[in-house]
Amino acid sequence: MKILHIGNLKSGIDTYVRNTVALASDKFEFVIVNGADDNSKPYMRHGKQVKTYSIDMYRALNPVKDMKAVMQAIKIIKKEKPDLVHCHSAKGGVIGRFAAFFTGTKVVYTAHAFSFLSAESAKKKQVFLLLEKIAKLNSYLLACSGSERELGIKVVGFKEKKAFAWNNAVPDILPQISSGKIEASDLPFPKVGERYITSIGRPSYQKNPLFMVEVDHGIHLKHPDIKFYLLGVGFYSPMLEDMKKLIHQYDMDDTFYLLPWLSHEETLKYVKGSLLYFMTSLYEGLPISVIEAMSLGKAIVASDVLGNKDCVKDGYNGYLLPLKEEVFVEKMNDLIENDEKRKEMEKNSRSYFETDFFIDNRIKALEDIYTEIYNR
């Protein structure tokens, strides 16, 4: 079966596609269609590069470029003749579904967090929700978590029989570290023995970066030796300057570090060496960064929102918390000070990853969904 992936493939979405393409069985063949400014690193499968096309697909709304991208996608679909088109993200979802509709190709859509969740005003939310409903067409939903599937049914209007869920999953990266391929001691920064906390995400509305700084400031007041590292600062970081100003206002320039997008391996070095991992997002699909932190045996402190609920069990492998600064500060300080409790949650995180989010055990479920949709 030939699957054509299409979308703005960056960050967690890029990881999702790379992992599934690399590990799917030989019954499947893949083609990639990404945006012109997406990750240029080749997609690999069984040691060979996967055929990849780049089209004029960008994150920002632009009717002229978007229509051009639809026409380019139609041309590629006609040439490649995939059995199924798998669309990713809001823009890829619109362009891919329209292209599949006009070519009569079966299509499945993974939102990785629906676009209307990103709207900062009620008016924008209604517009984005309307676009999601229009673009739904005859597509199937393949949510990246159970909560995203439920939202797709109740809010977007997908019929239950056309809505599937496959939890984001990742390879086990712990053996790489154990074998020496990734060594926490190789960290160029932080310094050896330094205590620090990590998070990954762009300074954008979704990631709630100013709240993150407020929480870190509260921790800093009690534990001035603790450092903070936000990884993945780079493309589409509209709140970066506001975040820098707040960090400077709290005199935390030497405590809170904003690091650019690093290689996957380098990022894992930071996470592995950290005391714990935390997320302050307003919403998520199902955060791959949290799953990877779980695979490394990290306790997770996260906001109690869609997506995070699907991978963090409150009191078991971390905490799910309301977006209240004092609550985050209290719980994170508790884990910093209570080694026994933190280590228990670390062990539980690793165990939960192995049972529910290890891709080697989950890839067949994705293949079965593809096959079921194709046979309908």
pLDDT band, residue 277 (cuts 50/70/90):
very high
Per-residue confidence (pLDDT) for residue 39, from 0 to 100: 66
Per-residue confidence (pLDDT) for residue 81, from 0 to 100: 97
Element (H, E) at 34: strand 29-35
pLDDT band, residue 131 (cuts 50/70/90):
confident
* CB atoms inside a 10 Å sphere around CB 60: 8
> In angstroms, what CA-CA distances link 141 with 66, 111, 167?
22, 8, 13
* Chain-centroid distance, C-alpha 85: 20
Lowest-confidence range among 80-84, 133-137, 340-344?
A: 133-137
The span from the CA of 276 to the CA of 254, in Å, is 20
Local structure of residue 315 (DSSP, 8 states): T
Give the best-scoring range by mean pLDDT among 61-70, 121-130, 211-220. Answer: 211-220
DSSP E strands, 202-271: 227-233, 256-260
Superfamily, domain 2-169+359-375: Glycogen Phosphorylase B; (3.40.50.2000)
Domain residue ranges of the chain, discontinuous segments joined by +: 2-169+359-375, 174-356
Per-residue confidence (pLDDT) for residue 60, from 0 to 100: 74
The span from the CA of 106 to the CA of 262, in Å, is 36
Same fold, 2-169+359-375 and 174-356: yes
Question: What would the mean pLDDT of 329-354 be, rounded to a whole number?
Answer: 97
The span from the CA of 91 to the CA of 97, in Å, is 10
Contact 171, 165 (CB under 8 A): no
User: What average pLDDT does the chain have?
Assistant: 90
> With respect to CATH, is domain 174-356 assigned 3.40.50.2000?
yes
The span from the CA of 212 to the CA of 203, in Å, is 10
Per-residue confidence (pLDDT) for residue 165, from 0 to 100: 95
pLDDT band, residue 136 (cuts 50/70/90):
confident
Q: What is the pLDDT of residues 167-209, one digit of tens each?
A: 989 998 877 765 545 455 555 566 777 899 999 988 988 899 9
Between CA 263 and CA 272, with CA 269 as vertex, the angle to 5 degrees is 135
The candidate with the shortest Cα–Cα distance to 69, out of 112, 34, 25, 20, is: 34
Write down the pTM of the prediction: 0.85
